[in-house]
């Protein structure tokens, strides 16, 4: 793989932990200057101290004004070539108990956060000789799961956005793709495991097995496996790959 062009600037939302931090670290390892963005300054600083990023920007992706200001400051430091729209969150509830506020929360963080971030970086990115936008979606963007209808709807919206925007930008140097992990070994999934244990009385091992059964390989995906897919999409070898939703899920999709 030919890798990244010389020292691009990558912005990773939700980059302080889990999949986002693994992606940030992989980009650093490939020679990128990396800014991690998130809500918790201490978590972001820990990522920097660990060598997983160079700079931090504090903002909530569902707050458009705050996100734009944080991205503008990062861009002023060095123009942004790569956007990894990773920030997200999941809440579970039966549809009958999923009120409009739940749907709004899930759309705001999982979809509108992607929209706001892309809107902030795209004008400058289109003027540069290389640009990569990768949204971290989910296998929920490609199929349905029970009890997460709001989350699933938001992730489906992300993939629709990626496909449309890729066509608009096909004549530019910017590619737009989504990576769709299956259940991944992160603190977000740890919360789902705790929820299963609390609601069903199952042991931790049984709860993990409940999630892992969706993967034909019978395991959770690792954050590094997701990061590897993202790194390839950001490489110059992937210049013809755009508008795709790539599942990293052990054959689930």
- Contact (Cβ atoms closer than 8 angstroms) between residue 233 and residue 240: no
d(Cα 121, Cα 198) in Å, to the nearest integer? 41
Q: What residue has token string 């990558």?
A: 10
Structure tokens at 53: 């990023």
Q: What is the CA radius of gyration of the chain?
A: 17
Q: Where are the alpha helices (DSSP H) in the chain?
A: 18-29, 41-49, 64-77, 100-107, 113-126, 149-168, 187-200, 204-212, 223-234
d(Cα 233, Cα 137) in Å, to the nearest integer? 14
What does residue 43 show for φ and ψ, rounded to 5 degrees? Answer: -65, -40
Active-site residue flag, 151: yes
| Annotated catalytic residue, options 130, 145, 147, 151 | 151
Q: Any idea how long the chain is?
A: 253
Catalytic residues: 151
């Amino acid at each position: 793989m030919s890798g990244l062009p010389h020292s691009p600037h990558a912005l990773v939302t939700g980059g302080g932990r889990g999949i986002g931090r693994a992606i940030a670290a992989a980009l650093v390892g490939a020679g990128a200057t990396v800014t991690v963005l998130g809500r918790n300054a201490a978590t972001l600083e820990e990522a920097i101290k660990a060598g997983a990023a160079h700079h931090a920007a504090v903002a909530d992706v569902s707050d458009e004004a705050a996100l734009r200001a944080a991205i503008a400051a990062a861009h002023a430091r060095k123009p942004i070539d790569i956007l990894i729209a990773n920030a997200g969150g999941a809440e579970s509830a039966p549809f009958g108990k999923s009120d409009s506020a739940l749907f709004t929360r899930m759309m705001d963080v999982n979809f509108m956060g992607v929209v706001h971030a892309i809107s902030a970086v795209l004008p400058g990115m289109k003027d540069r000789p290389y640009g990569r936008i990768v949204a971290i979606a989910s296998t929920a963007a490609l199929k349905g799961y029970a009890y997460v209808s709001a989350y699933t709807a938001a992730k489906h919206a992300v993939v629709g956005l990626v496909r449309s925007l890729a066509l608009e930008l096909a004549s530019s140097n910017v590619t737009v793709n989504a990576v769709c992990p299956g259940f991944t070994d992160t603190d977000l999934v740890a919360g789902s495991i705790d929820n299963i244990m609390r609601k069903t009385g199952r042991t931790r091992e049984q709860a993990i097995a409940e999630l892992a059964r969706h993967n034909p390989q019978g395991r959770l995906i690792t954050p590094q496996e997701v990061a590897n897919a993202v790194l390839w999409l950001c490489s110059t070898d992937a210049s013809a790959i755009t508008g795709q939703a790539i599942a990293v899920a052990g054959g689930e999709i």
